[in-house]
Structure 1
């Protein structure tokens, strides 16, 4: 169950020394990253052992819907006085006509994140990957024949990138957001089955959960 205490436990497992460290939170405006932002904010306020800032990229792929993502993040950060870095995609960023939009977006955001870290002496980047993402990635790698290394899962701490929500399901994240009134804006494109990850998320995993309601939790045990 996702709570402030269980989040702290995961943080302490990932890295034990946060003293005076700076952490950049990758925030899209969706439930996962907004919950992560809320939890980090509470931890920072309570223990004052690290400093946080947030980064958001507006890819301009969904028109006004993309702008709503940005507004959710801006409003939250302004309310809680969290430094926020925003990058808005423009024509100079050369969106691919035939290549993978997802790969292009990933490369763009990590370039932006690393640039912020370099310019502001930030120690870590935190992303909101969760247990369902682990499962989706497992199936993607399985279908692509990635070998044993590819089936080992997403690491919680990799090259200064922290993923503190990997132990929690999407359902637990939604539950936390509702109970704690965390604002978020849902990306409508997640419902479309245009990409392999979305097909796995929307078509395959729900059928597996129908077969065994504990499927995701059992998968987590296998990974561990």
Structure 2
């Protein structure tokens, strides 16, 4: 196996030879063999072990084993203890998901702080088949059937071509000791059920099932490349604009496809939507109809689909929705105030210039303090500059054909509940500069 591993490194991972590596090590056979192989090749590496404190004394024994292995290989060892059950409860996720998040977050932090170039994990061919079957049984798209990536950012998996059987044979031939995780024998988890009950049957049917699987993955990855390029070309035509946590798409581009649902799936598959018939239904729905997941909201607006990141939406609402920003005369004199949209700058101007999208000029003496910076509200009315009479802000925003997310994120600057400025859009006629103005105030949003 050492010769095959060396050849694989030379072919796929030559860049690992002259870099600083950290190996994610549990104490199990896979990661221990990876450590020994890297030691044989004289790689510059350290070991990183997570103690999830889920198996009592057994977890502590794993930690002690890894420390001993570090001494044996004469490499540095990093240990991190986690209260995994508390994390899972606080984040409302499974123990397995909690352990995964804690593990990779720490590895990333470790690599960044100590300048490790790559993190090596010991995933192998059987792990790859298990992941494929898990995704297959739960339902997935093409990308969920292409297996574990050999290289994902700074995470490298050099054991992926090797089977569990090959790894075990090498460990025994080299008299390598390892730790057995008792939880691996439990059928409680889906991965273990597949490992112990399903995959042995597949190997019985086809002893070369892992080789066949590798060929299938290769074909799927080639197909994925074609699909990815097609979707990239489609998005170049379909995306109208990106702004903050919002992306706007032309509906017509989806309708022009022979299979709109397939394109909807590929574009929005990572947004948490599950009812794809409902997603497709938005193409013909009335303006304002939407579907939502735990992370995103997809809205039909005229000839557009608007994807909003729910987190961004919640953040923007929580900043000042219930707590408008009060701006005192002193703050105006200090010339700048931070807002959720940017910084408001206040400067006295010697002469009047035309209002712009993010700049207005007002009669300073007409302002009453404190000014207030807030989201617009139902019932708000203002006097658009250059027009006679008043207009509801809601009607103005509708006439401007703003998208729902743009409407939701429209702010106003007020004085004694009178709107001075629909920020970034239209000033109010009541505060405009006239021939009687003594002091001109320039208000600019940056």
Using the size of structure 1 for normalisation, the TM-score is 0.91
Moved more, 193-202 or 84-93: 84-93
The ranges of structure 1 where at least 4 consecutive aligned residues each deviate by more than 6 angstroms after the TM superposition are none
1:152 and 2:152 equivalent? no
Q: CA deviation at 1:72?
A: 1.8
**Is the contact between residue 20 and residue 45 of structure 2 (CA under 8 Å) also seen in structure 1?**
yes
| Correspondence 1:134-173 to 2 at 5 A | 134-173=128-167
Moved more, 162-171 or 66-75: 66-75
Structure 1 partner of 2:270: none
Q: What root-mean-square deviation, in Å, do the aligned CA atoms of Structure 1 and Structure 2 show?
A: 1.7
Alignment length, in residue pairs?
217
Q: CA deviation at 1:210?
A: 1.8
CA distance in 2, matches of 1:11, 1:79: 24
1:181 and 2:179 equivalent? no
Q: CA deviation at 1:24?
A: 0.6
Q: CA deviation at 1:119?
A: 1.1
**Stretches of structure 2 lacking an aligned partner (at least 5 in a row):** 219-446
**Is the contact between residue 54 and residue 84 of structure 2 (CA under 8 Å) also seen in structure 1?**
no
Structure 2 partner of 1:47: none
CA distance in 1, matches of 2:83, 2:131: 30
- Post-superposition Cα deviations, 1:151-188, rounded to whole Å, max 9, x if no partner, equal 01111111111101000111111111100111100111
CA distance in 1, matches of 2:11, 2:86: 38
Which residue of the other structure, out of 80, 83, 87, is the alignment partner of 2:73? 80
Q: CA deviation at 1:217?
A: 2.3
| Correspondence 1:199-218 to 2 at 5 A | 199-218=193-212
**Is the contact between residue 52 and residue 84 of structure 2 (CA under 8 Å) also seen in structure 1?**
no
| Correspondence 1:41-56 to 2 at 5 A | 41-44=39-42, 50-56=43-49
Q: CA deviation at 1:93?
A: 5.6
Structure 2 partner of 1:13: 11
Greater RCO between the two (CA within 8 Å, min separation 6)? 1
Q: Which protein has the bigger helix share?
A: 1
Structure 1 partner of 2:344: none
Q: Which protein has the bigger strand share?
A: 2
CA distance in 2, matches of 1:180, 1:136: 27
Q: CA deviation at 1:78?
A: 1.0
**Is the contact between residue 14 and residue 157 of structure 1 (CA under 8 Å) also seen in structure 2?**
no
Structure 2 partner of 1:28: 26
**Is the contact between residue 88 and residue 94 of structure 2 (CA under 8 Å) also seen in structure 1?**
no
- Post-superposition Cα deviations, 1:124-177, rounded to whole Å, max 9, x if no partner, equal 000000000010011011112211111011111111111010001111111111
Structure 1 partner of 2:245: none
Q: Secondary structure at the match of 1:62?
A: coil
Q: Secondary structure at the match of 1:193?
A: coil
